Structure 1
Amino acid sequence: MSPHPSPLAPHSHHAIGVMGGTFDPIHFGHLRLAEEMAEAVGLERVLFIPAGQPPHRGVPRTAAAHRLEMVRRAVAGNPRFEVDAREVQSPRPSYTVDTLTELRAELDTEQPLWLLLGADAFLDLTSWHEWRRLFDLAHIAVAARPGARLLQSDAMPSELKNEVSQRQAVGGPSGSVLLRQMTPLGISATAIRDTLARHGSVRYLLPDAVLDYIHEHQLYRYP
């Protein structure tokens, strides 16, 4: 089997979603965001791309091979979800702009590509490497909490506000921003790691298949 999923079908113009993250570990918040966005935008597939070496955060606690396998197990039952190992297999730091550039090269130029982000990640976008280029490569779908007025938020940097205000029209392969209200699941990977470290239960926060893997490999058990 090739390390990447089959080269992305060049002739279908069905939209593809990209869900990146350290996934340390993957949990129901990630999966539900991808599911609701896939439905809202009409995504044929969502590629889950675990970060290998994230440049802007601390090194993940957990080896990339474990994080990749947890994602594989988490998405196994959903025919729309796929795992893409390219960032884990790359020796370079994982920049989203590079990953989207690679995907864009594999796709038909007219294929819509959607980068799926939580609100916090989106508000931090101006700190990302070559962040303005992201809009040239993909549409961006942002999961907002119900009632959150993200675009009016003081938390949004003015540079980002300006960029978004020019990019509301949806259509074509890239360039628009869509805000969707999501079912609020206040689940965080940090809280899951902390709970596991003190031998607490994280059942119902993440798929059983992921929890079984964590126990089998004794992940997040710090002395």
Structure 2
Amino acid sequence: MGVTDHLCITVLGGSFDPVHRGHVALAGYFAKLLFPDQLRIIPAGNPWQKKNGLRASAQQRIDMLRIAFAQQAVPTVIDEQEIRRQGASYTIDTLRSLRAEIGPAASIAFLIGADQLQQLDTWKDWRQLFDFAHICVASRPGFILDPAHVPPEVAREFVRRAGTPEQIRTTPHGLTYLTTNLAINISATEIRAALQKGQFPASLIPAGVLDYIKLHHLYQT
């Protein structure tokens, strides 16, 4: 892919254990908002904040991501760099690597949910994330950047850096965008608990992914 002044890549990282409809909706929302040239999905290798480890193998998580995102309108790449990396997976290292790969001019929009925003100040070198990417957050209706929900220093940074979709698409990094009209609240922890009880929550998991989970008896022991 050649780098142009307005190349825009949206980046979705996570454990994806399992991938669910919330992940697909988050990527789809920003696909309509930013018209990215590529969606880069980055499954975590060894996420340092996950104390109990991951239930599905790296290959199973990759397989489920391929199924879940097969119908995306945006060209989609599953980037395995965190899985290949030895040691803990830190977002700052991933974004630094991605920036080195695609060059200084392209826009990188890193997509997260409000639950991740609420603990952003615990991430390694979180302020440096803006040196490599924009941060775009999707939340439920009524969510606000107040001290009861978001650490004050994170809220201040988000307000100070607020940009428009057009600015995010056409500049490389450093801006924020918060949308509060994505009414999705899905927990992978709750999904795993349901699957362990023999329940198959079709409303929460893409149909093909649910078939894969059943076929491989994932999360059921």
Q: Considering the TM-score relative to the shorter chain, is it more than 0.5?
A: yes
Q: Does 1:46 align with 2:39?
A: yes
Q: Does 1:220 align with 2:219?
A: yes
Q: Does 1:190 align with 2:189?
A: yes
Kept in 1: contact 2:4–2:105 (CA 8 A): no
Q: Does 1:87 align with 2:82?
A: yes
Runs of 4+ in 1 over 6 A off after TM superposition: none
Given candidates 134, 138, 142, the residue that maps to 1:143 is 138
Given candidates 112, 118, 124, the residue that maps to 2:113 is 118
Q: How far 1:153 moved relative to its partner?
A: 4.4
Identity %: 38
AA of the residue aligned to 1:220: Y
Q: Does 1:23 align with 2:16?
A: yes
Kept in 2: contact 1:38–1:44 (CA 8 A): no
Cα deviations across residues 120-171 of structure 1 (Å, max 9, x unaligned)? 101110000111110111001000211222x234221122123223312453
AA of the residue aligned to 2:134: H
- Match for residue 102 of structure 2? 107
CA distance in structure 2 between the aligned counterparts of 1:180 and 1:192, rounded to whole angstroms: 25
* Aligned partner of residue 213 in structure 2, secondary structure: helix
Q: Does 1:75 align with 2:74?
A: no
The gaps in structure 1 that reach 5 residues or longer are: 1-7
Cα RMSD of the aligned pairs, angstroms, is 1.6
Given candidates 17, 30, 34, the residue that maps to 2:27 is 34
Shifted more, 164-173 versus 34-43: the winner is: 164-173
TM-score by length of 2: 0.91
CA distance in structure 2 between the aligned counterparts of 1:160 and 1:13, rounded to whole angstroms: 28
- Say how many residue pairs are matched: 214
Kept in 1: contact 2:186–2:204 (CA 8 A): yes
Q: How far 1:104 moved relative to its partner?
A: 0.2
Q: Does 1:60 align with 2:50?
A: no
Kept in 2: contact 1:10–1:106 (CA 8 A): no
